[in-house]
Structure 1
Amino acid sequence: EKGEEEELRLEVQGDILTHRGSLSVRSLYPVGTVLAGLYPVPPLNEVVAPPPGMATRLCFSVEYRPSSEQLAVSLLRLGNLPPRFHGNVTLVELRLLPDDRRPRQVKARGTGPDPEFNDCCVFQVSAACVSQSTLSVCVLSVSLDGKRHAVGLVLFPMEGELAHGGRVLWKDLETEEENLGDVMISLSYSPSLQRLSVGVLRARGLQLITETGVCVQVSLRIHTQVMKVKRSCVVNAVKDVHFNHRMTFKLRPQHLDEACLRFELQQPHVIASEPPIQLGELLLGPFMYARGPQLQHWMDMVNPTQRPVKLWHKLSRNA
């Protein structure tokens, strides 16, 4: 086995000498080739679980070998790929910026929300240059008609990361802002009754995935603790939905600055045992949790008249 590995290394070195001078990173080093046999990729069952939330994330690791002046990038998998891309082929294009112009391409080994790669791409780069480089990972989705759709981008500066070689990382993809739709929420609070009244009134412009209906899950949280979870009934799956669903939560006045409401618009899965499909999220709360209209709505809720305050809010992937 060692003999085979040594033979593979000699072949790689010969290939490097043959192509020396083309595609360099601030030096006469060729860059970018997929050499899965040289660097072991961490087993997928040992990969840490992704952080909570709906954001699309890339799982990978980087390791630099000074003796051979090689940067190994292990691509493991994606998490939370948007539903419209689940049936497509997923491609990843890697570059080592600023000098690398031609991308190296890796294809996912499956489809669905969490496609796996389990591939290693090696960049030849000198020790003097690697810490000044930035790894660019562009995720693309190829539909059946061959069209490529941009999913998102990860830019990973190498400076300060080389000391943590081989560490498995999860990084959110930078994406163009999606229009997931809006939801109209009504809030009111009664200090004497210690009651927070919530109305989920309407939703518009939803990006529906199935025809199984739409519902809203609302959770009251204090810091990281979920105090109570309530759900609306399932209504017909249309882009403009009328819920008109009201619910109440017990909340003491002293907790108004510590609590928040998390709204999750969902569609039941066609398979009853599977978790629901997330359409979008919204977080309303004080300054600890929210900004902009979401913060203002919470502040306006606490008013002497105790009248309900209605407001439209945009849904996001990760509230």
Structure 2
Amino acid sequence: MVLKQNTVNSRNVQAFVLPSTPPKKTRQFDRPVVSPRLETSGALGVPIYPDSGSDSSSPPSRRSSTEGPQNSMFSLGTIDPDLYKATQDDSETNFPEDHLGRVWFALEYQREAERLLVSLIKIKNLPSRTAGSSNACDPFVKIFLLPDERRFVQSKFKRKTTNPKFDESFVFQVSYKALQTRTLRLTVYDVDRHKKHRTLGNVLYPFKDFDYDDGQKIVLWKDLEEKSNMETSDLGEVQFSLTYNNHLERLTVVVLRARGIKKPTGMAAVDTCARVTLMNSNHVLKTKKTNVVTNSSDPLYNESFNFKLSPTQLDTSSLSVAILQVTPGDEGYERQVGRVVVGPFMYARGKELEHWTEMVNNQKDMVKRWHALTQETSDLGEVQFSLTYNNHLERLTVVVLRARGIKKPTGMAAVDTCARVTLMNSNHVLKTKKTNVVTNSSDPLYNESFNFKLGPTQLDTSSLSVAILQVTPGDEGYERQVGRVVVGPFMYARGKELEHWTEMVNNQKDMVKRWHALTQ
């Protein structure tokens, strides 16, 4: 079967795509990569849990079933490596000096289902920890959809090889419009004998360069680059340490310092403090603050706080460290610059998850880390709705209450909106309903209730989308989607969206009400 070469705007990227109608014979210069039909192993939606060096067949001892994106992601399973085999060519053997490694991966986007499939195939020529040895490397890969760095999926660990073969596939639930603004990042790590993770390099692939036909699989390779080329937070960073004492049931947090905090526009200085909040199952247990540090973009806090926390709460608790800008002479008004959330798999990913896990695994030791600040507010606005499930009546009730912060269209004096509620099962639309249009309001009040028929057996395979639509007056009711929220089980949602659905399932007949940030 013939493969056409696909041109990608990147210096060290080569791609091949499958034509819709294969010719009868193969030309010599074509690479015989066959369309990768996926063969899954294990249950659909089973996550890859990050750990600090366990074997690929041994999941970590502590883990939870829930998390933090706006974009849902999960492991799809393994792929059949025979379907990706290609003849040996220069890309397999011709490597430049000081080469960090070359990654082969495949992409497929299913537009109707809004699913991005990323297949990690293999890596070649990774650096070895021991000169002259080809087996002093234990690599694994984390896959991100930037700019979201808190959530990722992770490959299995490969032992003693600089040329690992993975043959694994992962799914990201993301709309096509949002995909155009995202960048795929594959970060390759090596786990040394002390179970420390050493970053070997990164591959970046901006989806604005993604040229595809619906359902078409594209195989690419790209060379690893130094981590120094990666983006850092524009909001600044904060350093703090965690210590847990299981005998005293005490969590100690030392907020050390922050750096790179930007001065507010029009102000000569920035005054800040740090707020530390301990939560369990989304309920605030305790909040504490440091003193205010004045006139510094790199404030030194160095304050310690103790929290009562039992060992049984470690898997359901999270810690938020926020940097607040304090405005002098404004009655102590505080504006959140950004924050960091560390915790178990239910609440964190990446460095934040690793920080918490290292604290749990090294009790009584002080574990100190820097973290990039993030801001979770949405430029598109927010929507508030409640969910109630009645298992006896097999009925899901959704009450769309209100929205806020909906921006007015450019050149228009007002914004008219409605909310659209869509129930889906296994990516098939079951029912769609809309609220009435609310005119001339950036903070519309809808307060409308909708009932959907949903059996208990469908709860684990269904999702609910709540979208805010801008209605253009006099344009025959033209509707443009401002943003949306998808809540559902682990297969479709993460973070607050997953928590909202889970709380509804666990508290049947109770009304569970939440605010959610809109995403595109």
Task: Place the TM-score, normalised by the shorter chain, in its bin.
Answer: 0.3 to 0.5
Taking structure 2 as the reference length, the TM-score comes to 0.29
Structure number with higher helix proportion: 1
- Greater relative contact order structure (CA < 8 Å, 6+ sep): 1
